[in-house]
Amino acid sequence: MERGLRGGGSVDVGVPKPPEAKKEAKSKKKDLKDVKESWGKVDELDERQKHDMALLGKQTDVLRSTREPKKKRRSQQAQLDPTVQEILDKYCEGSDANLSLQMQQALKELARQLAAAQERADAADEALTSTQSQLDSESEARREVDGERLQALQRVEELELAALEFQAQRRAWEEERKRQPREPRESRECARCRELEGLLKEAILRGAKLSRKTAEAEAAKNDEQRKAASAERQLQRQTRRAQRLAQQRKSLELALRSAERRGDAAEARLGEYLRAAAEGAEKVMEAHIQHLAAAGTNLAAKVDEQAEIIQVLRGLLQDHKDFIRQQLGAELSLPAPAPAPESEGSTD
């Protein structure tokens, strides 16, 4: 301090400069370890820097706690439906600042898909009801065809019985013809043959009609069976589709609920992080203000001390000037010296 005054240079007060805590807080790439290394050892730091380091450590812990559930979220997303996974990957890419907006968009998309799945499920239910009614009508038609087929079979059996009776009667007539005389027997045989031929033609026609009806009944039965099989396959497909839509709806509902829970948790974590960041910024600003106030007080004290030293030096300088004036005044007030002897001899 005295050397600065004597040399006439500026006074170096030695006020410690606060570290660039704001730049370190804004920088996302630097870690707490880099900040500690840039500030030096802990023993060489002042109280304000230690306080700032503690706040940065707290913010780092909060960030780590927000990053820890990422693996859990990834494992939950791996179990979701591909469409749900695609929605979450589409709307949940970005920083934590707009996470709430992204989660809201994802929830809206999931709600829209859930409504579409509900509409598809309703349409599948309607199709299932119509298919069930068609199956009922086809089963009724099948029962009618089966009744007609049974009637045709009964008619065929009756015709077979009639044919057997006709054969028995024919054998009886042949035996009777052998016992009767020849001429009347031939006339009776001719009449009986014509009658039998008529009956045979009628039986053949009835048999052809019955066979045609039987073939038509078999064709209708086969057609109805094909229709019933196709309707049953369609019903099974629609049933599987309805079950798949129901499972998809359940998975979408589960995904929606899990997304809502994750959104609430993310909003809570984001709010906690913002509160912690605001609290840390306020505390850092308060520490800076306290440090500046302490530095200003110290500087004012040193300025007062320097002013006192200057006053003392001025007083000493004034005393020195007074002493010099007194010495010069004493020398000027002395009498003139006597002439030397050599000067007297020279005058003689």
Please check whether residue 166 lies inside any domain of the structure: yes
| Mean of all residue pLDDT scores within the chain | 72
Please check whether residue 188 lies inside any domain of the structure: yes
Which residues in the chain belong to E strands, given as ranges? none
Could you tell me the CA-to-CA distances from 89 to 23, 77, 82, 92, 317 in Å, in that order?
33, 9, 10, 5, 83
Q: Which residue has the higher pLDDT, 26 or 214?
A: 214
Evaluate the CA torsion angle 270, 272, 275, 278 in order and state its sign: negative
Evaluate whether 45 touches 53 at the Cβ level (below 8 Å): yes
Q: What is the pLDDT of residue 7?
A: 43
Please check whether residue 331 lies inside any domain of the structure: no
Please check whether residue 159 lies inside any domain of the structure: yes
Cα-based angle 101, 103, 105 (whole degrees, multiple of 5): 70
Residue 31 is given by DSSP the state -
- Tell me the pTM: 0.31
Please check whether residue 8 lies inside any domain of the structure: no
Q: How many domains does the chain have?
A: 1
Please check whether residue 55 lies inside any domain of the structure: no
Please check whether residue 22 lies inside any domain of the structure: no
Contacts of 37 (CB under 8 A, 6+ apart): none
Q: Please state the rounded mean pLDDT for residues 209-229.
A: 81
Please check whether residue 29 lies inside any domain of the structure: no
Evaluate whether 24 touches 30 at the Cβ level (below 8 Å): yes
Q: Which residue has the higher pLDDT, 71 or 301?
A: 301
Q: Which residue has the higher pLDDT, 322 or 83?
A: 322
DSSP 76-112: HHHTS-HHHHHHHHHHS-S-STTHHHHHHHHHHHHHH
Work out the burial of residue 302: count CB atoms within 10 Å of its CB; fewer than 13 is exposed, 13-18 middle, 19 or more buried.
middle
Q: Please state the rounded mean pLDDT for residues 6-10.
A: 42
**pLDDT bracket for residue 22 (50, 70, 90):** very low
**pLDDT bracket for residue 231 (50, 70, 90):** confident
Q: What is the pLDDT of residue 9?
A: 42
Q: Residue 291 is part of which domain span?
A: 69-322
- Nearest alpha-carbon partner for 148 in 221, 202, 207, 227: 221
